[in-house]
Structures are given as structure tokens and as C-alpha cells.
């Protein structure tokens, strides 16, 4: 009976009235003689609360008005001035809330049945006022939903804690940001920790510093902590707090209660959930966000009022202080949400067009399926497929860092096989199973060893000649044999013994300190940048000092000792694991137990003899198929290598507040990589076989502004080593490197230290950083002058043993010579127009030799040669 009555009360058509307040909400009174209920206003409220719990949580009415739902359908508030956010969303044709559902929160009318229990403002923000139960009605048009609200734990005065209220309020106001009182030396003599990462120190600064002048527990409203941010006294930071606001009252209540200190037993925030996680619409649409925090004691609390909101692309979306998003342009933009060290995003998508036609699009694999879904979602029309010549050059340079020979180019271009592109990919990656076709494995290993040696920082500066050669050879051989990447990383992380005999051990000579090893390992193999967390909580991530030094603790017992195995002057060292050694927190002095990211600390009981080497547990977690960070980091790097841009940029900065441009594609690639037993060649094959990889690089009018979603292939500059090798192949004149055998190619060089002007000019990295950014992709004037006027290129073109000289000596017809020069550089034959231009140039040249040399010089200096397109 009561459930039916309440169902009708909670979801109904609104009667005609001048205002919502003229329709008071009524609930059934407790039955006469009901046990445990006394005839008092409070007991009536409790009975109403009990009856409300019997109802169906949410009802929807579409007839006679706009169908919508309210989230959450019922609310519990704990303590006076506790707050929660209601969000009203339109229902789609299926009767559900979808990504495209209109947010009705700003249009809705809100009213409370008992203002003494809960207040509600025009934006749907609830504020606890007194103990009991009430109903908040939400009206859109002539449809009303009722939300049951229960308020408990209310005393005569507001109760506020330092950790649960004061710090969030200071963070929301920006007081503990780096530009304010969390600057290196604070502001105006008042210093706070960045984002409140050191609560005890902040408490001392607020309550004890300067003889406690910032607080007045006798007359709280006279406290500088209140008078400064409300501009009742001059304040360099401007107005940060409104007098009489909820935040003001909570701070005042905390001061009045004697400013109690933070309690180490206060439950810590472990995660936040943001709703909605994604919303699509046209420019101008709005969306109210809702933020709920989860605490270590399993409590959940709406913290929308104290969360910080920031847009990561103001051209697409803006967000107000209270979490109201407004779409300002077209595209895709994350809105970052932070609260007490936790961070998440809500994705705003505003399509460029209402619909797109993908009539000629054919999915080659799941990459294309998910890419096409993103194109449709964003209203972006992709470019068509590239031609065979473009694909040929792209595939060779991306897979093995090498230009095809004239013969290889000719054979591919003349082939009529329907699946010749897939066949070429398998040959380049050595996946045909036919030894006569799998002939590029050495080039593959050399090219990809170059990339990983850059990141691991294999250099004679760090390791000496012998250590550098040992590590380089191990990396190269691992790639040549297609060692599963999890095994590669596991060997690196758990290495021990001689640096010369066990090459992966050199990883611990490059970065010897536990802190440096934690930073390098996290960034290299998880895509997590922990450097900020060494000193304070990461500003855009959930990791703080505890996470940083707990990860460093895995490396605390690793060290190097001398050895004479290779003679007294051999300089050999041995990596050993000592029985003791710990990492201490620099601020608290606490000994940090080893703990992987996002998990509980490793208990001391686990540190048994059989697990004396802590790195084994780290390596197991790090390379687990269940560790999404590991897989996502690798696939994101390889997407960037092949498609010119990672799903996440920068590629080694994977965090919640830097989401992928296509989250579904990232998840699918990571899952596929793990399921393939971390097979790098299969990952390359999957990406290269996709239609997405084989799109033309020329943008269309419809996708010219797209730089993130791969609607056209992103043109990439050739790296220093690949470019030098390409010039060598085009001119048929190899470069001789000092102290290296003749025939050694630039991509095969093991060290970062070579006195080669060309490689230095074109950005060969020194290998001093694990960041991908060390290899600069931007062109500069020195590079342009070097290819236009440099002696190296001119000398190679005019070399008596070079390609031009050989063709002249053979007396080849002019058309054949021109065609070979095009094939050797651009991997295609000249067009009719280009051939006609060449004939005109030839007629004006002093000699055939000068003409061919000028033509080859022009081709090498063309963008089509200097870039992968």
C-alpha cells in the first residue's frame, strides 16, 4: 500500500500551478499505533524515510511531457552543510540515457518538501540543513520526478574536519596551487604544500605559524583565513571565498571547534567517479557534471561542490567552477576533474558534421572498425587509400627503416597480386614462414634496436665501450628472434651478474639510484611520468610521494660491485642483490614498503628468503597481461611510430587526465597485444594491414583540420640515421663510420657517440633521457642548408662510383636513367608531366652528367624524399 502510494508520489504529472512551491509534497503518515514511532516531527520524518526506501528507485513518464531521469534517484547526506548534485537527463528513444542525451539540469525547476531538512538551488545542488527525510521534486515541463533525501548526523552546529573539508576547500579555491601559496616560497609569508600533499605541514602553517595569527578561535569570523580570501582585508589573490557561503561556514565551524588537527585515521580518497564520462552534442550544449568520491572505508560521497574542473581544450569546451560544461566549438575535448589527489576526465564530443558517408570504406581489421566509428561520431570524412608507390615506400621505411631497391620497387609496382600489400608486410616483418622471403630480419632488428636503445639510453658515456656493445647486441638479438616483449622487459628488470656477460644488467648502471630506476621504469614500460611525485603530488595524476618511493623500494637492495673477471683494468662490474636496504620517505622519514602502482603495500611477511629479490614481484606485475598500463604504453608508442601520432600524446604520458583520442581503439589494441603474448611483430602487422595505416596523406577539405583522429596519414620526417641511409642508397655511395666495418649502416650504429656531422645536424639523440622527445622531429635551418649546399650530399652525388656515374658509364637511355633516379628516391616512376619537365631541363643543361646530378639533388631535397608520406 505504502509502496504504491510513494511510487505515485515520486513520479507524476505536475498539476497546474503558478509555481512549483504551490504543490507541496505529502507523504503518508505512520499508521496509528505503529511500534517505535512517537508522535513527533522527527519520528514522522523517520517514518517517511522508511516508506521511501520501499519505493522503486526511479520512474519515468513520457506521456504528456519530456521523458527524463534524475541522477541519483535518492540521496543520503551526512552532517550539516553536506552537499550533493542532482543531474536531470533526457531519455532517448529506447528509454535510456545515452551519450547524446540532452542535459536538462539547467532547464529543470527544483523544490524541496522541507527546507529545514534540505535546501536546493536552481542548479540542483542539495545542501543538508537538518536531521530527517524530505523529497526534492525536479520538474521539466509538466513532468516531475521526486528524489528521496535523507539527512543524518546533523548536530546543532556544522562539524568540519581538516582533511575532509578544509583541504578540499583550499584546493577548490586555488590557495594551494603552485601560482599561489604553494609556490616555492609561498606568498606573503604563508606557505602551503602543493595540492595539500602534506596535511600536517599545512595544518602547522595555518594554525601555528606566525604565532597563530591566521586564526581566531574566540571570534572565528575575525580570522585572517576568512577575512583575506573574502577581501574583507587586502588580498593579492583576489576574492576566493564568498562570505556566508557553504565553504565559508565550514571553515568558520572548523575554527570555532578549536581547529582540530588532521587525524591519521581519517579515511583517504581512493578514487573518484565522474558522470557522465562522455557527452555528444552540437555547439552550445551544456552538461552538469557529478563527482562521487570513494574512500578507503568503502564510503561514497558526492564531492561535486569541492572538485576542481578544468578544460583541456577551450576551443571545444569550457567548464564553470561548479562543473557546468558548455560546448564552444567542434571537436573532442577532455574536461579534467580533480579531488584530493585523484583525477578523472569527462569527454566532450561536438561532431564536425551531422553525418558522414563512408561508402568506400572497407574494414581490414578491428582497427578500421573502431576508427570508422570515431569518424562517424565526429563527423569526419577520411581521405582515400594511398597509391601503391606511396604504400611501398611507407611500409619499407616504417618497418625496417630502409628504402627498397630499384628492383624491389619495380617488382612491387608491376605486381598484379590482389593482396600484394599484405604479402609485402609479411615479408618485411619476416612472417611468411618462407626463409627465401623472410630476408629483412637483420634490417628489422637494427632499426627497432635503434629506437629501444635510444629509450633505454645505451651509450658508451654511461656504460663504457664493452657495456654498451653488450647491451646493444642483446637488444638487437632480442628483436631479431622476436622475443616476446614481456620477456624482454622481465629480463631487463630482474637482471643480475656481470655487466659484460649478462647484458641486461647494464640497465642498472645507466640509472643506479632507486629513485631514478623507479622513474625510468615507470616512464619506459608504463608510460607513467612519476618525476613530479618525487617532491609533491602529481598535479594531474593520482600518484604522490608515497607511490613514488614505494615503487623505488623495489630497487633499494640492488647495487654494483667491482670484479676482476676481465682483468684488473677491464673495468667490469657485477650487479648484486643485497640482503638489506630500504627507501625512506624524505618528508616523513618512514621506511617505505615496496608497492606497485594502484595496489596495497607489500607486507613485511612476504619478504622471505625465496622472494629476497623484490624486483621479481615487480617484473611479474609489470609484464602481466592484466596490467593494462603495460600493454597500452607499448601499443601507444607503436601507433605513434607508424601513424605519426600516438593515441595519447605525449606518447609516454598515459594518465587519466590525458585520455586517448580513441579510447575504444586503445583498449582493443592493448587487449590484442596481450592476447598475442606480447608479440611486437604481430602488433606491427595489425597496424600496417589496417586501412587506417594505408590512407593517403593528402587531407581533404573535410578533414584538413583533423590532427588527432588519423583521417589522413600523418606525414613524418625521416630520422637522422634513416635519412643518411636513404641518401646512401639513392646515391649508391655508403658512409664510412669511424671504427666501424665498411658497409655498416647508420641504423646499425650501436652508440650515440659518433663524430658524424650529418647525424648530429639531423638530431641523433645523445641518449640522456628516457623521453621520446629527445629525438626532435622539427626541422631547422642547419638541416636545410646541409642538404641544399652541404659537401656530404654533393660529394655522394658526384662520386665516380655512385649511381649517376654508373648509369652514364652503362650508356642507359635517358628515360631509363630518369626512371631509375625516381625509383631510387621516391620509389615510383616519373609521371608524364615530370618526364616532360626533365626533357626540358636536359635541353638546357651543359652536359648529361650535370643534368642527372642536378635531378638527383632535386629529388633528394624534395619533401617527398625527406618525409614519409
Q: Give the pLDDT score at 178.
A: 81
Considering only residues 279 and 354, tell me which one the structure prediction assigns the higher pLDDT: 279
Q: Give the pLDDT score at 88.
A: 97
Please report which confidence band the pLDDT of residue 15 belongs to, taking 50, 70 and 90 as the band edges. very low
**Residue 387 has which C-alpha cell?**
597509391
Q: Give the pLDDT score at 607.
A: 46
Considering only residues 791 and 96, tell me which one the structure prediction assigns the higher pLDDT: 96
Q: Which 8-state DSSP code applies to residue 577?
A: E
Please report which confidence band the pLDDT of residue 786 belongs to, taking 50, 70 and 90 as the band edges. confident
Q: Give the pLDDT score at 196.
A: 85
Minimum mean pLDDT range among 210-214, 400-404, 636-640, 728-732 = 210-214
State the pairing for strand pair 497-498/558-562.
unpaired
Contact assessment for residue 270 and residue 294, using Cβ atoms and an 8 Å cutoff: yes
Residue 408 maps to a domain? no
**Residue 331 has which C-alpha cell?**
571537436
Are 334 and 192 within one domain? no
Residue 336 burial (CB count, 10 A): 21
- d(CA 656, CA 108) in angstroms, rounded, equals 32
Phi, psi of 739, deg, nearest 5: 65, 20
DSSP conformation letters of 457-495: T--HHHHHHHHHHHHHHHHHHHHHTT--HHHHHHHHHT-
Are 338 and 225 within one domain? no
Per-residue b/e over 623-638, b at no fewer than 16 CB within 10 Å? Answer: beeebbbbbbbbbbbb
Considering only residues 683 and 66, tell me which one the structure prediction assigns the higher pLDDT: 683
Residue 482 maps to a domain? yes
- d(CA 366, CA 277) in angstroms, rounded, equals 23
Beta-bridged to residue 293, according to DSSP, are: 272, 301
- d(CA 612, CA 579) in angstroms, rounded, equals 7
- The residue-averaged pLDDT of 201-206 equals 92
Q: Give the pLDDT score at 409.
A: 98
Contact assessment for residue 774 and residue 456, using Cβ atoms and an 8 Å cutoff: no
- d(CA 66, CA 601) in angstroms, rounded, equals 51
How long is the chain?
869
Are 139 and 181 within one domain? no
Q: Give the pLDDT score at 601.
A: 66
Are 128 and 10 within one domain? yes
Question: Which single residue is written with the C-alpha cell 598475442?
Answer: 676
Please report which confidence band the pLDDT of residue 790 belongs to, taking 50, 70 and 90 as the band edges. confident
Are 602 and 461 within one domain? yes
- What's the gap between Cα 268 and its chain centre? 25
Residue 337 maps to a domain? yes
Residue 500 maps to a domain? yes
- Count helices and strands (H / E) in the chain: 30, 27
Mean predicted lDDT score pLDDT of the chain: 89
Cis before 650 (ω within 30): yes
Q: Which residues contact 485 (CB under 8 A, 6 or more apart)?
A: 634, 678, 679, 680
Q: Give the pLDDT score at 159.
A: 82
Q: Which residues contact 103 (CB under 8 A, 6 or more apart)?
A: 87, 88, 89, 90, 279, 285, 286, 287, 288
pLDDT digits (tens, 9 = 90+) for 622-657: 999 999 999 999 999 999 999 999 999 999 999 989
Is residue 9 predicted with pLDDT exceeding 70?
no
Q: Give the pLDDT score at 264.
A: 80
Q: Which 8-state DSSP code applies to residue 277?
A: S
Q: Give the pLDDT score at 567.
A: 58
Please report which confidence band the pLDDT of residue 171 belongs to, taking 50, 70 and 90 as the band edges. very high
Helix, strand and coil in the chain, % to nearest 5: 40, 15, 45
Phi, psi of 715, deg, nearest 5: -65, 135
Q: Give the pLDDT score at 65.
A: 58
Residue 222 maps to a domain? yes
Per-residue b/e over 518-535, b at no fewer than 16 CB within 10 Å? Answer: bbbbbbbbbbbbbebbbe
| Element holding 560 (H helix, E strand) | strand 558-562
Minimum mean pLDDT range among 39-48, 787-796, 799-808 = 39-48
**Residue 409 has which C-alpha cell?**
620497387
- d(CA 529, CA 87) in angstroms, rounded, equals 35
Minimum mean pLDDT range among 502-506, 618-622, 753-757 = 753-757
Are 135 and 97 within one domain? yes
**Residue 589 has which C-alpha cell?**
622519514
Residue 823 has, within 13 A of its CA and on its CB side, a CA count of 19
Q: Give the pLDDT score at 239.
A: 93
Looking at the chain, the whole-number percentage of residues with pLDDT higher than 90 is: 77
Residue 307 maps to a domain? yes
- The residue-averaged pLDDT of 246-274 equals 92
**Residue 332 has which C-alpha cell?**
573532442
Residue 208 maps to a domain? yes
**Residue 146 has which C-alpha cell?**
521526486
Please report which confidence band the pLDDT of residue 8 belongs to, taking 50, 70 and 90 as the band edges. very low
Residue among 530, 543, 527, 555 at smallest CA distance from 630: 527
Residue 15 maps to a domain? yes
Contact assessment for residue 261 and residue 246, using Cβ atoms and an 8 Å cutoff: no
| Cα distances (Å, whole numbers) of residue 856 to 189, 392, 402, 729, 730 | 67, 20, 18, 12, 8
Is residue 75 predicted with pLDDT exceeding 50?
yes
Q: Give the pLDDT score at 100.
A: 93
- The residue-averaged pLDDT of 568-588 equals 86
Contact assessment for residue 453 and residue 770, using Cβ atoms and an 8 Å cutoff: no
Q: Give the pLDDT score at 59.
A: 41
Is residue 10 predicted with pLDDT exceeding 50?
no
Contact assessment for residue 73 and residue 88, using Cβ atoms and an 8 Å cutoff: no
Residue among 343, 390, 310, 313 at smallest CA distance from 708: 313
Q: Give the pLDDT score at 345.
A: 96
Rg, C-alpha atoms of the chain: 33
- d(CA 795, CA 18) in angstroms, rounded, equals 90
pLDDT digits (tens, 9 = 90+) for 529-545: 998 888 877 777 888 88
- d(CA 814, CA 824) in angstroms, rounded, equals 15
Q: Is 513 helix (H, G, I), strand (E, B) or coil?
A: coil
- d(CA 215, CA 258) in angstroms, rounded, equals 9
Work out the end-to-end distance of the chain between its first and last CA atoms, rounded to an integer number of angstroms: 72
DSSP H stretches of helix in 86-222: 167-173, 199-207, 209-212
Are 727 and 865 within one domain? yes
Are 472 and 547 within one domain? yes
Is residue 611 predicted with pLDDT exceeding 70?
no
Number of separate domains in the chain: 5
Minimum mean pLDDT range among 103-117, 692-706, 731-745, 762-776 = 762-776
Is residue 675 predicted with pLDDT exceeding 70?
yes
pLDDT digits (tens, 9 = 90+) for 29-70: 333 333 333 333 443 443 344 333 333 333 444 334 579 999
DSSP H stretches of helix in 301-418: 366-378, 388-400, 406-414
Considering only residues 25 and 641, tell me which one the structure prediction assigns the higher pLDDT: 641
State the pairing for strand pair 342-350/331-339.
antiparallel
- d(CA 306, CA 289) in angstroms, rounded, equals 12
Q: What is the CATH number of the domain that holds 334?
A: 2.60.40.1080
| Element holding 125 (H helix, E strand) | strand 125-128
Are 477 and 606 within one domain? yes
Question: Which single residue is written with the C-alpha cell 569550457?
Answer: 318
pLDDT digits (tens, 9 = 90+) for 471-484: 999 999 999 999 99
- The residue-averaged pLDDT of 111-128 equals 97
Q: Which residues contact 486 (CB under 8 A, 6 or more apart)?
A: 623, 630, 677, 678
Q: Give the pLDDT score at 251.
A: 95
Q: Which 8-state DSSP code applies to residue 187?
A: B
pLDDT digits (tens, 9 = 90+) for 590-607: 999 999 998 876 654 454
Contact assessment for residue 477 and residue 610, using Cβ atoms and an 8 Å cutoff: no
Are 124 and 248 within one domain? no
Looking at the chain, the whole-number percentage of residues with pLDDT higher than 70 is: 91
Q: Which residues contact 844 (CB under 8 A, 6 or more apart)?
A: none
Is residue 778 predicted with pLDDT exceeding 90?
no
> Where does a domain end: 568, 594, 622?
622
> Where does a domain end: 350, 368, 401?
350
Is residue 12 predicted with pLDDT exceeding 70?
no
Range of the domain at 85: 2-152
Is residue 157 predicted with pLDDT exceeding 90?
no
Are 251 and 273 within one domain? no
- d(CA 84, CA 123) in angstroms, rounded, equals 11
- d(CA 544, CA 592) in angstroms, rounded, equals 13
Beta-bridged to residue 69, according to DSSP, are: 89
- What's the gap between Cα 79 and its chain centre? 37
Q: Which 8-state DSSP code applies to residue 676?
A: T
Contact assessment for residue 453 and residue 461, using Cβ atoms and an 8 Å cutoff: no
| Element holding 273 (H helix, E strand) | strand 269-275
Q: Give the pLDDT score at 111.
A: 97
> Where does a domain end: 152, 187, 217?
152
Are 148 and 168 within one domain? no
Phi, psi of 856, deg, nearest 5: -65, -40
Contact assessment for residue 370 and residue 664, using Cβ atoms and an 8 Å cutoff: yes
Q: Which 8-state DSSP code applies to residue 695?
A: B
Q: Give the pLDDT score at 447.
A: 98
Amino acid at each position: 500500500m505504502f509502496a504504491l502510494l510513494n511510487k505515485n508520489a515520486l513520479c507524476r504529472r505536475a498539476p497546474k500551478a503558478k509555481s512549483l512551491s504551490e504543490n507541496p509534497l505529502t507523504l503518508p503518515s505512520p499508521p496509528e499505533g505503529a511500534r517505535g514511532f512517537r508522535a513527533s516531527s522527527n519520528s514522522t520524518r523517520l517514518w517517511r524515510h522508511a516508506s521511501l526506501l520501499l519505493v522503486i528507485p526511479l520512474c519515468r513518464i513520457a506521456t504528456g511531457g519530456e521523458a527524463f531521469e534524475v541522477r541519483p534517484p535518492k540521496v543520503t547526506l551526512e552532517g550539516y552543510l553536506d552537499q550533493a548534485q542532482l543531474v536531470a537527463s533526457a531519455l532517448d528513444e529506447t528509454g535510456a540515457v545515452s551519450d547524446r542525451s540532452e542535459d536538462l539540469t539547467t532547464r529543470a525547476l527544483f523544490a524541496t518538501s522541507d527546507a529545514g531538512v534540505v535546501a536546493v538551488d536552481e542548479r540542483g545542488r542539495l545542501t543538508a540543513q537538518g536531521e530527517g527525510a524530505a523529497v526534492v521534486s525536479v520538474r521539466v515541463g509538466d513532468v516531475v520526478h521526486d528524489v528521496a533525501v535523507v539527512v543524518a548526523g546533523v548536530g546543532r552546529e556544522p562539524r568540519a574536519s581538516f582533511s575532509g573539508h578544509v583541504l578540499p576547500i583550499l584546493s577548490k579555491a586555488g590557495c594551494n596551487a603552485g601560482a599561489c601559496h604553494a609556490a616555492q616560497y609561498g606568498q606573503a609569508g604563508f606557505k602551503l604544500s602543493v595540492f595539500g600533499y602534506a596535511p600536517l605541514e599545512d595544518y602547522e602553517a595555518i594554525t601555528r605559524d606566525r604565532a597563530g595569527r591566521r586564526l581566531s578561535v574566540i571570534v572565528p569570523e575575525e580570522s585572517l583565513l576568512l577575512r583575506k580570501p573574502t577581501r574583507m582585508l587586502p588580498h593579492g589573490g583576489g576574492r576566493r571565498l564568498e562570505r556566508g557561503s557553504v565553504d565559508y561556514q565550514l571553515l568558520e565551524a572548523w575554527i570555532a571547534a578549536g581547529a582540530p588537527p588532521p587525524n591519521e585515521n581519517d579515511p583517504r580518497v581512493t578514487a573518484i567517479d565522474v558522470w557522465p564520462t562522455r557527452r555528444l552534442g552540437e555547439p552550445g550544449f551544456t552538461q552538469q557534471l557529478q563527482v562521487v568520491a570513494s574512500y578507503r572505508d568503502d564510503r561514497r560521497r558526492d564531492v561535486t561542490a569541492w572538485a576542481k574542473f578544468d578544460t583541456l581544450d577551450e576551443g571545444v569546451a569550457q567548464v564553470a567552477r561548479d562543473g557546468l560544461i558548455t560546448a564552444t566549438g567542434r571537436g573532442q575535448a577532455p574536461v579534467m576533474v580533480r579531488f584530493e589527489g585523484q583525477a578523472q576526465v569527462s569527454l566532450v564530443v561536438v561532431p564536425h558534421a551531422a553525418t558522414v558517408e563512408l561508402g568506400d570504406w572497407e574494414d581490414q581489421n578491428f582497427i578500421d572498425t573502431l576508427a570508422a566509428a570515431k569518424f562517424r561520431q565526429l563527423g569526419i570524412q577520411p581521405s582515400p587509400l594511398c597509391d601503391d608507390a606511396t604504400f611501398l615506400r611507407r611500409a619499407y621505411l616504417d618497418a625496417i627503416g630502409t628504402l627498397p631497391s630499384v628492383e624491389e620497387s619495380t617488382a612491387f609496382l608491376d605486381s598484379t597480386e590482389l593482396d600484394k600489400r599484405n604479402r609485402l608486410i609479411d615479408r618485411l616483418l619476416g612472417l611468411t614462414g618462407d626463409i627465401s622471403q623472410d630476408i629483412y630480419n637483420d634490417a628489422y632488428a637494427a632499426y627497432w634496436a635503434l629506437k629501444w636503445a635510444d629509450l633505454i639510453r645505451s651509450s658508451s658515456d654511461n656504460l663504457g665501450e664493452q657495456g654498451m656493445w653488450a647491451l646493444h647486441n642483446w637488444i638487437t638479438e632480442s628483436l631479431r628472434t622476436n622475443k616476446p616483449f614481456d620477456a624482454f622487459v622481465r629480463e631487463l628488470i630482474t637482471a643480475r651478474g656481470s655487466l659484460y656477460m649478462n647484458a641486461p644488467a647494464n640497465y642498472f648502471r645507466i640509472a643506479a639510484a632507486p629513485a631514478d630506476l623507479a622513474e625510468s621504469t615507470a616512464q619506459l614500460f608504463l608510460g607513467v611520468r612519476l618525476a613530479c611525485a618525487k617532491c609533491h603530488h602529481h598535479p594531474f595524476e593520482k600518484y604522490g610521494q608515497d607511490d613514488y618511493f614505494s615503487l623505488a623500494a623495489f630497487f633499494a637492495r640492488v647495487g654494483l660491485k667491482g670484479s676482476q673477471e676481465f682483468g684488473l683494468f677491464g673495468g667490469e662490474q657485477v650487479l648484486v642483490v643485497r640482503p638489506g636496504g630500504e627507501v625512506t620517505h624524505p618528508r616523513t622519514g618512514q621506511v617505505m614498503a615496496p608497492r606497485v602502482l594502484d595496489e596495497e603495500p607489500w607486507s613485511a611477511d612476504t619478504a622471505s628468503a625465496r622472494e629476497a629479490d623484490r624486483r621479481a614481484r615487480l617484473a611479474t606485475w609489470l609484464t602481466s597481461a592484466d596490467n593494462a598500463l603495460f600493454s597500452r604504453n607499448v601499443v601507444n608508442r607503436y601507433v605513434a611510430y607508424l601513424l605519426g601520432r600516438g593515441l595519447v600524446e605525449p606518447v609516454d604520458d598515459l594518465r587519466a587526465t590525458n585520455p586517448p583520442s580513441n579510447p575504444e581503439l586503445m583498449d582493443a589494441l592493448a587487449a590484442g597485444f596481450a592476447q598475442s603474448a606480447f608479440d611486437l611483430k604481430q602488433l606491427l602487422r595489425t597496424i600496417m594491414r589496417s586501412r587506417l595505416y594505408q590512407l593517403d596523406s593528402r587531407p581533404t577539405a573535410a578533414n584538413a583540420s583533423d590532427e588527432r583522429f588519423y583521417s589522413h596519414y600523418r606525414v613524418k620526417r625521416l630520422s637522422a640515421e634513416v635519412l643518411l641511409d636513404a641518401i646512401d642508397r639513392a646515391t649508391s655511395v655508403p658512409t664510412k663510420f669511424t671504427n666501424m666495418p665498411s658497409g655498416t649502416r647508420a641504423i646499425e650504429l650501436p652508440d650515440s657517440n659518433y663524430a658524424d656531422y650529418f647525424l648530429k645536424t639531423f638530431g641523433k639523440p645523445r641518449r640522456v633521457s628516457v623521453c621520446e622527445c629527445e629525438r626532435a622531429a622539427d626541422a631547422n635551418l642547419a638541416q636545410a642548408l646541409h642538404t641544399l649546399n652541404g659537401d656530404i650530399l654533393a660529394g655522394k652525388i658526384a662520386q665516380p662510383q655512385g649511381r649517376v656515374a654508373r648509369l652514364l658509364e652503362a650508356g642507359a637511355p635517358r628515360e631509363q636513367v630518369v626512371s631509375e633516379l625516381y625509383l631510387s628516391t621516391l620509389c615510383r616512376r616519373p609521371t608524364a608531366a615530370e618526364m616532360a619537365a626533365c626533357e626540358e631541363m636536359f635541353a638546357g643543361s651543359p652536359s648529361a652528367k650535370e643534368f642527372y646530378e642536378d635531378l638527383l639533388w632535386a629529388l633528394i631535397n624534395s619533401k617527398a624524399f625527406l618525409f614519409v608520406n
